[in-house]
Structure 1
Amino acid sequence: MVSALSRSEIALPAIVPGWVAHTRRLPRRQRFRYRTYQWLVDIDELPTMRPFASFRPADHLNGGERSLRENLTAFVTAQDEVLEPDDQVLMLANARCFGYVFDPLSVYWCFASDGSLRWVVLEVHNTYGERHPYLAHPTADGRFTVEKAFYVSPFFTVEGMYEVVLDLTPDRVAVAINLRQNSTRAFSATFTGNPRPASRRTVLAVAARTPFVTHQISLLIRLHGIALWLRRLPVVHRPPHLPPQGA
């Protein structure tokens, strides 16, 4: 449930320890699950806790020297949406850890001053250094679909639909994405975690349990790609990336 969320309900910034699971169904079945954690932050109050966490606007959206709010405003305005000065935007993302970040998916929730949800943005990153944001308007239970428009896995074409379910409550943060191609669910990815106030003690605890977290994510993605290639899964040609307007 993501509608009518009060700004005061979740203590920010928050650490969200949890699990990521991927299930590939076509053309070869493969599944993996691993422990990780992400950050849930207000984009106007980005925390810094080096070397375990720092955030740079250049790692997201348009990049460059502008703030995250400025970059997000440019993108949503180009999509005929609004980000008002008193709107609050929460971002679920990976922080830079020991100077490195790889963030396969960042999620932005935009809340009006009355707590109602205006829109969400999913920002997908691939291992080729490219990024692509999608803007959507979820239903009251956090569901929406968007057309796939970005090359992510070298084993999937740029076609099909993403079926997305988001959950953002004081006790649970979850993102579930199904890729449907030719009326078949080809791939699923989920993240599920429980937000906790990001005290130094909590940050040190999750960092001790999952050290070098973003390095781990990048390495695992590449290792699973190599495993699929060794199973003779055909590699799909990567077309030139055309970012949406404002990105």
Structure 2
Amino acid sequence: MSQRASALYPGLVAHRRTRPRAHALRYRIFMLLLDLDEGPALARGLRLFGFDAPGLTSFQTRDHGDGSDTPLKMQVERHLAEAGVEAGGAVRLLCMPRVLGGVFNPLSVYFCHRPDGALCAILYEVNNTFGDRHSYLIPVADDGPGGVVRQTADKVFFVSPFMDMDLTYAFKVRPPGPGGLAVSIDVADAGGPLLSAS
């Protein structure tokens, strides 16, 4: 039997706001990296994990994508096809699992691959506190030095009453691998850096 790509990653979340008033926080978390083809098999093999079913920890398809029961990989592949991105390989989602039924994912990150395993796109799924959701799909040209992917997007989705819409996101991602993974987002406006989250 081949080794699974799905995993739990312990880590650290850090936010640092520079304006209008400096503020910073750091706390420990764990996140689920779920290969969307492995969900049902994981649930069968892990007694305390449910896939579209209750569990001490669980993953619910409706917490992501369009909120329906349509398989999530099918939804992501539809996004990729509409954007003209050739994919066809694994789709792996980094997110918070439900714990005792509760969850909030301000950001979920989908790593989209070609059949040869090469990363072809990253889809950033943003949730706000009003229950709205938006995705930024960005093709991956080539990994940068050390396998780090750098991407940018203009903000088009309302997230927080404390942040205007006229902002730019700069993503820096080290995709999952033997050395772990990392995701950082720098937010800037015309006046310069505003927020850094990782």
Match of 1:34, as an amino acid?
Y
Structure 2 unaligned segments of length 5 or more: list them: 44-48
Q: List per-residue Cα deviations over 1:42-86 (Å, max 9, x = no partner).
A: 0111133153321121111112120001211222233233442xx
- Give percent identity, aligned residues only: 34
CA distance in 2 between counterparts of 1:82 and 1:67 reads 19
Show the 5 A alignment for 1:129-144.
129-138=131-140, 139-141=142-144, 142-144=149-151
Match of 1:181, as an amino acid?
D
Aligned length: 180
Match of 1:116 in 2: 118
Structure 1 unaligned segments of length 5 or more: list them: 1-7, 191-247
Give 1:150 shift. Answer: 1.1
Show the 5 A alignment for 1:46-195.
46=39, 47-48=42-43, 49-50=49-50, 51-84=55-88, 87-138=89-140, 139-141=142-144, 142-168=149-175, 169-190=177-198
Q: Check conservation: 1:89, 1:108, Cα contact below 8 A.
A: yes
Aligned CA-pair RMSD: 1.7
CA distance in 1 between counterparts of 2:182 and 2:12 reads 10
Q: List per-residue Cα deviations over 1:133-177 (Å, max 9, x = no partner).
A: 001123412101111111112100112210000112222111000
What SS is found at the alignment partner of 1:185? strand
CA distance in 2 between counterparts of 1:146 and 1:27 reads 23
Higher RCO (C-alpha under 8 Å, 6+ residues apart)? 1
TM-score by length of 2: 0.85
Q: Check conservation: 1:63, 1:71, Cα contact below 8 A.
A: no
CA distance in 2 between counterparts of 1:76 and 1:67 reads 15
TM-score by length of 1: 0.69
Match of 1:140, as an amino acid?
D
CA distance in 2 between counterparts of 1:70 and 1:63 reads 13
CA distance in 2 between counterparts of 1:77 and 1:66 reads 16
CA distance in 1 between counterparts of 2:36 and 2:107 reads 16
Give 1:183 shift. Answer: 4.6
Give 1:101 shift. Answer: 1.3
CA distance in 2 between counterparts of 1:133 and 1:158 reads 15
